[in-house]
Amino acid sequence: MADTKDATSSNQMWGGRFASGPDAIMEEINASIGFDKKLFAQDIRGSIAHATMLAEKGIISHQDKGKIVEGLNTIMSEIESGRFEFSRQLEDIHMNIEARLSVLIGPAAGRLHTARSRNDQVALDFRLWVKEELVKTEAMLTALIAAFLDRAEEHAETVMPGFTHLQTAQPVTFGHHCMAYVEMFGRDRARVRHAIDHLDESPIGAAALAGTGFPIDRHMTAKALGFREPTRNSIDTVSDRDFALEFLSVAAICAMHLSRLAEEIVLWSTPQFGFVRLSDAFSTGSSIMPQKKNPDAAELVRAKTGRINGSLVALLTIMKGLPLAYSKDMQEDKEQVFDAAENLELAIAAMTGMMRDMTIRTDRMRAAAGSGYSTATDLADWLVREAGLPFRDAHHATGHAVALAEKKGCELAELSLEELQAINPAITQNVFDVLTVDASVASRQSFGGTAPSEVRKQIAYWRNRN
């Protein structure tokens, strides 16, 4: 009776969910099959390459290699068709596949794990998955850039207000504004490409941490798996998750860019701005206010950034205190990357759709382009260029002109020549040629400027860029 009572007390201490006590707790915290089964294709691909190399080097027989490859292909079909039964008791994707392989081909399955460890095996699977995801992200960013290039070409001459501090600053073109995002997402794509280059080394063959005494050929497996070369230090190989951190860093920066764009879309779609009208495909209504058309897709893209940033911080925190080489803490890496990848894909796809579908309200943009005395800088520049004033004096005179226009409740171009000459007698009738938003925009022909001619040059540059 005493033994039964002690066991019951122990179970109650562990909590109702864990009826079997500490063993159930350990299974719950240790098993990763719930999420790392996503790596099944990479695991099978890596195992086939490893078995092929073992056979070529005479470490296992070609007969056993043939059985292993056939069995792994069968398992691949079973998983893809949904017929494979994953077991939590077998902990992870590697042991689930190996156990099934043993059932299918018998003792030959036990030879597959020769000259490798789960440490280098999981490093390989995860690298392959991240590399494939980066390739997919690169293609999605290319599609997003193409959407912006199309919009920039369409609106190379569409004037709109340019902002600093969210205050009207100077007139720009919507095409120029679109090209700012082309630059942003172009940098993101470059970072993706750099990340692919950095991780393009094969970990398999590093074994647990010290390499192996078997006469393996790591260059052979690296080539078979599409890597540039094998990694060069077995300790670093199994303890490195820089490739995952770099993916998350790239994802976080890209998500931040998407969020900035989303914020602008949210603002621009309000009645107060009215610069764009979102399609029904990327908007929702209100359950109580029938007039509402909410930019929910943009808002959710904006929110995804926090989630992706959290994944980066989580993995940085997981890795920061780990001694070399492998520690079980590193099992927590995959969920962060999987979640960030899924949400980044969704955010890029949503933004690409929004940019292609939204209606640009050029009339509202033009009406707002001249507000807030946006051509004041053009007046100051004219005073420097035509009247020979030092820029600080021109700035001061322009400030007086703005104050006068503000007092009269009119725009700069609506001030009379006499009123402007009272501020500075060097002003002539020609000044009115630069006080329109079209003239202002057309004059900004410096490299990378907002002039339509310059915008078109940059569009051509990006269309010819890989």
Catalytic residues: 165, 286
Indicate the residue type of 344. Answer: L
Beta strands 276-277 and 229-230 are unpaired
Lookup result for tokens 């995002």: 181
- DSSP at 324: S
Give CA–CA dist 344/402, Å, rounded: 45
Give CA–CA dist 213/101, Å, rounded: 25
Residues near 396 by beta carbon (within 8 Å), at least 6 away in sequence = none
Torsion angles phi and psi, residue 360, rounded to 5: -90, 120
Q: Is 358 exposed, middle or buried (0-12, 13-18, 19+ CB in 10 A)?
A: buried
Q: Is 35 exposed, middle or buried (0-12, 13-18, 19+ CB in 10 A)?
A: middle
Give CA–CA dist 191/194, Å, rounded: 5
Give CA–CA dist 17/314, Å, rounded: 27
Joined together, the tokens standing for residue 433 give: 């040629």
Give CA–CA dist 128/45, Å, rounded: 9
Lookup result for tokens 């095409």: 175
Give CA–CA dist 230/238, Å, rounded: 13
Give CA–CA dist 130/338, Å, rounded: 9
In a 13 Å sphere around the CA of 321, the CA atoms on its Cβ side amount to 4
Joined together, the tokens standing for residue 50 give: 């490893």
- Could you check whether the bond before residue 108 is cis, i.e. omega within 30 degrees of 0? no
